[in-house]
């Protein structure tokens, strides 16, 4: 594990400093995110925040688990105004679970492969300077509250900002995560094509807002946000500020029909297809044999899962 560092800065000229208010930023950097490209973005972000007069606590570790532990320890031991994560959706997932229910704000410097939560919040993607300027301005303005999904699996509770998936797309994640090559978005797309060759429909039992039914489907997602898989806009009208979740169902399709619908998902033009169903809910239970759920691209656990929404759970700098 790389030890945390604490860096104090002087206040620069006003032109470079959106807020004259000093404060401490815990900056969590995962060097493994996006296959190592995050380290440079993290260094740049730390320099930007120091130049704006903020005290910066740099948090780095060899892996996700070690970094999560380091973040938790820092938030307990120090008075921190914001936790800023540098990386992709996995790092956002770490931040949401560290901060849900607290008043410490979450900032995102998007530098991962998917960046679906950052995309939802309108953060500049792969532009460290622009992301840091927006974070600093939002700190001065107080940020905004967004909802979080809360999921219970195998007795463990966790939170997500974007989308929980259980079905075809979760199986694609599982397959892609087992590969070391290729890197980037092409790995997800190739895993999808490979998974499509053997994937079969799933027979779910769904309980949503106290109504229960059997649902054959290729996949079911529970969305607080809009995007999965690096820009696939599966629930284009979902909002992380409405106190509701969007239950997204894709009913069984042939491989050819699925491939015909798939390109439309990136523009959110798939919602009129007869196999697609979107329903607004407050809580949902998903049950099925042999299915694993993922949320914000991170493995949650096998079904059954119970999901509900926690309004205003996280304050974000966006």
The CATH number covering residue 50 comes to 3.40.50.10330
Least Cα distance to 177 among 41, 40, 294, 303 occurs for: 294
200 and 229, same structural domain? yes
95 and 9, same structural domain? yes
132 and 11, same structural domain? yes
189 and 121, same structural domain? no
Contacts of 224 (CB under 8 A, 6+ apart): 147, 148, 149, 160, 161, 162, 163, 238, 240, 245, 309
Q: Is residue 238 part of a domain?
A: yes
156 and 81, same structural domain? no
CA 261 to chain centre: 24
Q: Degrees (nearest 5) of the Cα angle 141, 144, 146?
A: 170
From its phi and psi, is residue 154 left (phi > 0), alpha (psi between -120 and 50) or beta?
A: left
Listed residues 142, 168, 198: the one ending a domain: 142
Look at residue 182 in the predicted model and tell me its pLDDT: 67
Look at residue 170 in the predicted model and tell me its pLDDT: 72
Listed residues 142, 163, 185: the one ending a domain: 142
The number of folded domains in the chain is 2
d(CA 287, CA 189): 27
pLDDT digits (tens, 9 = 90+) for 94-118: 999 999 999 999 999 999 888 999 9
Look at residue 234 in the predicted model and tell me its pLDDT: 96
Alpha-carbon Rg for the chain in angstroms: 20
Q: Which residues of the chain have pLDDT under 50?
A: 1-20, 34
Domain ranges, residue 164: 151-312
User: Computed from CA positions of residues 289, 175, 229, 233, in that sequence, does the dihedral angle turn out positive or negative?
Assistant: negative
164 and 122, same structural domain? no
Two tokens, residue 64: 């996700």
Look at residue 117 in the predicted model and tell me its pLDDT: 98
Burial class, 198, CB count within 10 angstroms (exposed 0-12 / middle 13-18 / buried 19+): exposed
What CATH number does residue 180 fall under?
A: 2.60.200.40
Q: pTM for this one? A: 0.87
Q: Residue 251 to residues 103, 125, 217: CA-CA distances in angstroms? A: 40, 33, 4
295 and 160, same structural domain? yes
185 and 79, same structural domain? no
Look at residue 197 in the predicted model and tell me its pLDDT: 65
205 and 56, same structural domain? no
- DSSP, res 34: G
Burial class, 272, CB count within 10 angstroms (exposed 0-12 / middle 13-18 / buried 19+): exposed
Least Cα distance to 40 among 120, 127, 98 occurs for: 127
242 and 102, same structural domain? no
281 and 177, same structural domain? yes
pLDDT digits (tens, 9 = 90+) for 139-183: 999 999 999 999 999 999 999 999 999 987 777 766 666 656 666
Look at residue 190 in the predicted model and tell me its pLDDT: 76
Two tokens, residue 150: 């809360």
d(CA 307, CA 206): 11
């Amino acid at each position: 594990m790389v030890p945390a560092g604490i860096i104090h800065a002087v206040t620069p000229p006003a032109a470079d400093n959106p807020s004259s208010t000093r404060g401490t930023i815990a900056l969590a950097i995962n060097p493994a995110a996006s296959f190592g490209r995050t380290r440079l973005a993290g260094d740049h972000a730390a320099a930007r925040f120091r130049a704006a007069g903020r005290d910066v606590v740099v948090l780095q570790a060899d892996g996700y688990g070690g970094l999560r532990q380091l973040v938790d320890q820092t938030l307990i031991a120090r008075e921190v105004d914001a936790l800023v994560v540098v990386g992709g959706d996995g790092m956002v997932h770490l931040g949401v679970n560290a901060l849900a229910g607290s008043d410490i704000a979450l900032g995102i410097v998007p530098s991962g492969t998917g960046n679906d939560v950052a995309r939802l919040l309108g953060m500049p993607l792969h532009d460290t300077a622009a992301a840091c300027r927006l974070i600093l301005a939002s700190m001065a303005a107080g940020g905004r509250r967004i909802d979080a999904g809360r999921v219970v699996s195998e007795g463990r509770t966790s939170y997500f900002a974007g989308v929980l998936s259980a079905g075809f797309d979760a199986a694609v994640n599982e397959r892609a995560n087992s590969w070391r090559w290729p890197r980037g978005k092409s790995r997800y797309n190739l895993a999808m094509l490979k998974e499509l060759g053997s994937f079969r429909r799933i027979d779910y039992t769904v309980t949503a807002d106290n109504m229960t039914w059997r649902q054959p489907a290729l996949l079911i997602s529970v969305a607080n946000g809009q995007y999965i898989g690096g820009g696939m806009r599966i629930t284009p009208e979902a909002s992380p500020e409405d106190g509701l979740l969007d239950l997204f169902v894709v009913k069984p399709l042939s491989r050819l029909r699925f491939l015909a619908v798939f390109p439309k998902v990136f523009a959110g033009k798939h919602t009129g297809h007869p196999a697609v169903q979107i329903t607004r809910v407050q809580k949902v239970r998903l049950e099925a044999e042999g299915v694993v759920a993922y949320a914000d691209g991170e493995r949650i656990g096998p079904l059954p899962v119970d999901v509900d929404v926690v309004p205003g759970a996280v304050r974000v700098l966006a």
